[in-house]
Amino acid sequence: MATPLADVRRAALRHESGTPLIAFHDLSKRYELPHGRVVLDGVSGRIEPGEFLIVVGRSGSGKSTLLNLLGGLDRPSSGHVSVDGRSLGALSDRELTLLRRRRIGFIFQAYNLISTLTVSENLLLPLELNGLAVGNTVAKWLERVGLTGMEEAYPDQLSGGEQQRVAVARALVHEPDLILADEPTGNLDLHHATRVVALLDELCRSSGKTLVMATHSREVAGKADRMLTIREGRLEEVRE
Ligand SMILES: Nc1ncnc2c1ncn2[C@@H]1O[C@H](COP(=O)(O)OP(=O)(O)O)[C@@H](O)[C@H]1O
Ligand SMILES: [Mg+2]
DSSP state for residue 151 in the 8-state scheme: T
The number of the ligand 1 atom at minimal distance from the alpha carbon of 33 is: 4
Closest atom of ligand 1 to CA, residue 68: 17
* Helices of type H across 104-189: 119-129, 137-144, 160-172
**Helix pair 160-172, 119-129: axis angle to 10 deg:** 20
pLDDT at 180 over 70: yes
Please tell me the predicted confidence (pLDDT) of residue 107: 94
Q: How far apart are the first and last CA of the chain?
A: 6
Band (33; pLDDT cuts 50, 70, 90)? confident
Q: What is the mean pLDDT of residues 66-79?
A: 96
Q: How confident is the model at residue 2 (pLDDT cuts 50, 70, 90)?
A: very low
Looking at all shown ligands, the one closest to residue 230's CA atom is 1
Contact 178, 203 (CB under 8 A): no
Superfamily of domain 4-238: P-loop containing nucleotide triphosphate hydrolases (3.40.50.300)
Quote the pLDDT of residue 204. 85
Distance 63 CA to ligand 2 centre (A): 5
Domain locations along the chain: 4-238
CA of 233 to the centre of ligand 2 (A): 14
Which of 111-120, 181-190, 210-219 tops mean pLDDT? Answer: 111-120
What's the rounded Cα separation, in Å, for the pair 82 and 92? Answer: 14
3-class DSSP state of 149: coil
Q: Is the CB of 62 under 6 A from ligand 1?
A: yes
Nearest CA to ligand 1 atom 24: 60
Is the CB of residue 63 below 6 angstroms from any atom belonging to ligand 1?
yes
Q: Give yes or no for residue 3 having a pLDDT over 60.
A: no
What's the pLDDT tens digit per position in 181-207?
A: 999 998 888 888 888 898 899 888 888
